[in-house]
Amino acid sequence: MSGYKQIAVLLVLLGMLFSGVVVAEEEKPKEIVLGASVPMTGPFAFAGIQLNAGLNDFVDWVNEQGGIEGHRVRYIGEDTGYQTDQSVAVFRRITSRADVNFYFGDSTAFQQTINRELERRDILLTGASFASELNDPERYPLQFMLGPDYSEQVGMLLEYIAEETPGASVMLIHSDTEFGRDPIRAARERAEALGLEIAGTIVTPPGASDISAEALKLRRAGPDYAIFHGYVLSPIPEFIRRARQMRLETKFMGTFYTMDQTMIDEMGEAAEGFMGVMPYRYFYDESGPAPIMDVIREINDEYRTNTYVQGWLTGLLMKTIAGETLRAGKALTGSNMRETLDSLEDIDTGGIFGQPVNFRGNSIPLGRIYRADVEAGRMVPVSDWIELE
């Protein structure tokens, strides 16, 4: 490369560096801005892409309906690759270019990291994380969850087990990650309170392929139930396949991120009888009145995942909270909206949850147990909606 060309390249790079300098947008009246750090690449891209689509579709829909109390909604979502420093960069990028009212976070680490900044900027945040750590309004006053935290999800599974098979033994199988370890301590305590026996815990790397030693441990324990947590797919099918080969009668269960129909489909035959907890209605669940689910089905001809529905739930809760705050004549600051959220009771989610919901702490401890029916290609509810006390 000649010297001139190298200088030209250098200048272009410098231009790119300084192109973001001093760009202050004028404040736009009558607009509610929803920013989002979304993992559209990386290990959680499968969820992020759907969530992004859900948020986009919700915003189009709500603006067609006249917005929220006359305010148009603007959505700005950017990819993070599921990396905390990139998520923070995206937060900084979006908040320095728009007056953000709501924010969607993509991970526990991001939501912990950005907490201080939320309080300073007075922005209300929700996110993809169901980490029990975040279910603490004193430490995380400007955050809320879109369902039960992981401890509550496992708690619901244990409640179901205790009712179906009193005194049953349960094996906890979790990934060696912050995500996987989250509910284990609480699960032990709840199992003891419910008179269930914890047969042991098995820890594997997320996405592990060789689980020979762990499968033998499962065989030795021979539990009535095994609860997976901290995985998306692998090594769940392999565990189930090995258990079937070893003629174990164990029933297998999972939590939110394992429970989407696409994951169940990928498990193939191994999924037959697989159970788990899901706070939202499935796309194809037409069992009760659910006007928002009807809208979602109207917009989409084909199956949409639970994370797509989660995007709609984010928007709906934002609509409810912002609407109430505006009707009370208050500004859309994080603390005002948190006050509103705390005052809300029996929130209507348009049927996404099977009944009106209430926040307890930062979470909504409501969900239902489903079982996979492989032949029908569907998740079938096997319990009523369970609301934890």
Partner 1 sequence: MRIGSPKQSYAADEALFRTPTQWTWFGILLVSLALYPFMADQYWLYLACLISINIISATGLNILTGYTGQVSLGQAAFMGVGAYTVAWLDTHTGAPFFVNLLAGAGMATVAGVIFGLPSLRVKGLYLAIATIAASFILQFVFINWESVTRGMRGMNIDPPQVMGTALADPDQFYWLVVPIMVVMVLGAANLFRTRIGRAFIAIRDRDISASVLGIHLPTYKLMSFAIASFYAGMAGGLWAYFFGAINPESFPLLMSIFLLAAIIVGGMGTILGGILGAIFMTLTPEALRYGVDLLSPFIEDASVILSPVRTMVFGLLIVGFLLFEPHGLAEIWRRVRRFFHLWPFRN
Chain residues in the site for partner 1 (CB under 8 A): 2-4, 6-7, 10, 13, 16-17, 19-24, 40-41, 45, 49, 52-53, 77-79, 81, 84-86, 88-89, 92-93, 95-97, 108-109, 112-113, 115-117, 120, 133, 139, 177-178, 181-182
The smaller minimum CB distance to partner 1, of residues 229 and 371, is found at 229
CA–CA gap between residue 114 and residue 84 (Å, rounded): 10
The smaller minimum CB distance to partner 1, of residues 206 and 381, is found at 206
**In the chain, what is the greatest distance between 2 CA atoms, to the nearest angstrom?**
79
Q: How far is the CB of 137 from partner 1 (least distance, A)?
A: 15
Q: How far is the CB of 38 from partner 1 (least distance, A)?
A: 8
The smaller minimum CB distance to partner 1, of residues 77 and 354, is found at 77
Q: From residue 376, how far is each of 237, 240, 292, 379 by CA, in Å? A: 19, 20, 24, 8
The smaller minimum CB distance to partner 1, of residues 181 and 297, is found at 181
The smaller minimum CB distance to partner 1, of residues 16 and 376, is found at 16
Q: From residue 262, how far is each of 72, 192, 378, 383 by CA, in Å? A: 33, 34, 10, 21
CA–CA gap between residue 286 and residue 209 (Å, rounded): 37
Residue found by looking up tokens 């689509």 in the block: 53
User: In this structure, are residues 168 and 197 in contact, taking their beta carbons and an 8 Å threshold?
Assistant: yes
The smaller minimum CB distance to partner 1, of residues 85 and 192, is found at 85
Residue found by looking up tokens 């979006």 in the block: 94
Beta strand residue intervals within the chain, DSSP E? 31-38, 72-79, 102-105, 124-127, 143-144, 169-175, 197-204, 225-229, 251-254, 275-278, 366-373, 378-381, 386-387
The smaller minimum CB distance to partner 1, of residues 28 and 139, is found at 139
Q: How far is the CB of 249 from partner 1 (least distance, A)?
A: 32
User: In this structure, are residues 54 and 309 in contact, taking their beta carbons and an 8 Å threshold?
Assistant: yes
Tokens of 242: 């090995």
Q: How far is the CB of 172 from partner 1 (least distance, A)?
A: 15
The smaller minimum CB distance to partner 1, of residues 48 and 279, is found at 48
Q: How far is the CB of 213 from partner 1 (least distance, A)?
A: 18
Q: How far is the CB of 216 from partner 1 (least distance, A)?
A: 24
Crossing angle for the helix pair 236-245 and 212-221, to the nearest 10 degrees: 50
Nearest to 105 by CA among 145, 50, 69: 145
Q: How far is the CB of 184 from partner 1 (least distance, A)?
A: 10
CA–CA gap between residue 57 and residue 59 (Å, rounded): 5
By the 10 Å C-beta count (0-12 exposed, 13-18 middle, 19+ buried), 64 is classed as exposed
Provide CB contacts within 8 A for 168, sequence distance 6+. 161, 162, 196, 197, 223, 224, 225
The smaller minimum CB distance to partner 1, of residues 7 and 246, is found at 7
Q: How far is the CB of 257 from partner 1 (least distance, A)?
A: 17
Q: How far is the CB of 168 from partner 1 (least distance, A)?
A: 27
Q: How far is the CB of 97 from partner 1 (least distance, A)?
A: 8
The smaller minimum CB distance to partner 1, of residues 184 and 292, is found at 184
CA–CA gap between residue 367 and residue 153 (Å, rounded): 8
